[in-house]
């Protein structure tokens, strides 16, 4: 019973640190770039392709696809942007947010406390708003890796507990179970990056299969859509269509990936091997490849997709 309690506390603490760290990182970066982001969105979204590139760059800068999507919903609601442009930004935002997962796949957990300390010191000695934003981002970056470190320390305890270990062995092999859990966890923590970080830890520890890990990674793309749906409540029809274009885009992509899971898994393994990386990078690469493939498929079909959204989502 004591071991189960320690495992549970490690899991909760690690997940909270990871989720809060990702949020601090994105909030800090967003505070630095907020005005610049609005100007970029206004100037560089004249067509779907430039909107797509803008979505990638802005999300990579602020590390939050949620922030960019909510901002896009707001622009459409105020009439400053058309649905076609918004859809392009959404394609790009899904790719830009994968940078966080790539960072988490590096072994930086031993430096977590030093990174947090550096962020806190900068925050204490500086009075400039922009520098404080950088400090907040650095602290969040450190907290993110501290969360991963805490989750990693719980792995040996899980293997010691026959009950918990058998639970993972029983339910940690199925991609559909992973998909559902990925959706639920991401809806709860409001961060697809945090869910991917958790998946990296579980997969690298051998607690879940590659198929289940892919299910979790694909599921987090659906779970993250809940924020845009909430943001669209009380907005006009165009803004609601924007939120639904984000949701249906991720759902369609997820369904296709689950149906074609075996060739998708083989592609990830082949790409990771071609890059000279080991299996610890598989999940981060899966997150990136999934979103890149979705954009490649949807970009040429944007006009049809927009018509589909306008047909499905109406007054």
Instruction: Encode pLDDT of 138-156 as tens digits.
Output: 898 888 888 888 888 877 8
Q: Residue 238: which H helix or E strand, with range?
A: helix 237-259
- Distance of alpha carbon 5 from alpha carbon 21, whole angstroms: 24
Q: Is the pLDDT of residue 214 over 90?
A: yes
Question: Minimum mean pLDDT among 61-70, 159-168, 279-288: which range?
Answer: 159-168
What's the pLDDT band for 33 if we cut at 50, 70, 90?
low
Percentage of the chain surpassing pLDDT 70? 95
Place of tokens 């990296």: 200
**For the residues 263-278, what does the mean pLDDT come to?**
92
What's the pLDDT band for 265 if we cut at 50, 70, 90?
very high
Question: Minimum mean pLDDT among 31-45, 169-183, 194-208, 251-265: which range?
Answer: 31-45
The tens digit of pLDDT for each residue in 274-304 reads: 988 888 889 999 999 999 999 999 999 999 9
Q: Which residue has the higher pLDDT, 266 or 31?
A: 266
Domain ranges of the chain: 2-158+165-312
Mean pLDDT of the chain: 84
Q: Is there a contact between 31 and 129 (Cβ–Cβ < 8 Å)?
A: yes
3 state DSSP class of 157: helix
Nearest to 205 by CA among 181, 163, 169: 169
**What predicted TM-score, i.e. pTM, was given to this entire model?**
0.84
Nearest to 279 by CA among 218, 179, 203: 203
């Amino acid at each position: 019973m004591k071991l189960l309690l320690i495992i549970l506390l490690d899991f909760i603490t690690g997940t909270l640190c990871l989720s809060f760290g990702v949020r601090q990182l994105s909030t800090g970066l967003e505070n630095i770039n907020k005005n610049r982001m609005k100007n970029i969105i206004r100037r560089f979204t004249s067509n779907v392709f430039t909107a797509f590139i803008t979505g990638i760059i802005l999300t990579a800068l602020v590390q939050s696809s949620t922030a960019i999507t909510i901002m896009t919903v707001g622009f459409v609601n105020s009439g400053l942007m058309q649905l076609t442009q918004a859809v392009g930004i959404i394609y790009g935002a899904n790719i830009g947010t994968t940078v966080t997962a790539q960072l988490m796949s590096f072994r930086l957990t031993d430096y977590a406390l030093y990174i947090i300390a550096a962020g806190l010191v900068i925050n204490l000695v500086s009075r400039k708003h922009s520098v404080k934003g950088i400090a907040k981002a650095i602290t969040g970056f450190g907290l993110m890796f501290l969360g991963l470190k805490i989750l990693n320390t719980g792995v040996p305890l899980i293997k010691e507990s026959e009950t918990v270990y058998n639970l993972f062995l029983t339910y940690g092999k199925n991609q559909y179970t992973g998909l559902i859990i990925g959706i639920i966890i991401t809806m709860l923590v409001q961060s697809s990056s945090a869910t991917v970080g958790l998946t990296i830890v579980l997969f690298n520890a051998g607690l879940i299969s590659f198929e289940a890990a892919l299910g979790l990674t694909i599921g987090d793309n659906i779970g993250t859509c809940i924020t845009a749906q909430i943001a669209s409540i009380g907005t006009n029809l165009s803004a609601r269509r924007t939120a639904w274009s984000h949701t249906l885009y991720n759902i369609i992509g997820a369904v296709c990936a689950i149906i074609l899971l075996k060739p998708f898994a083989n592609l990830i393994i082949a790409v990771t091997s071609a890059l000279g990386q080991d299996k610890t990078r598989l999940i981060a690469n899966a997150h990136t490849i999934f979103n890149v493939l979705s954009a490649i498929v949807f970009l040429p079909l944007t006009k049809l997709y927009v018509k589909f959204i306008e047909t499905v989502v109406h007054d």
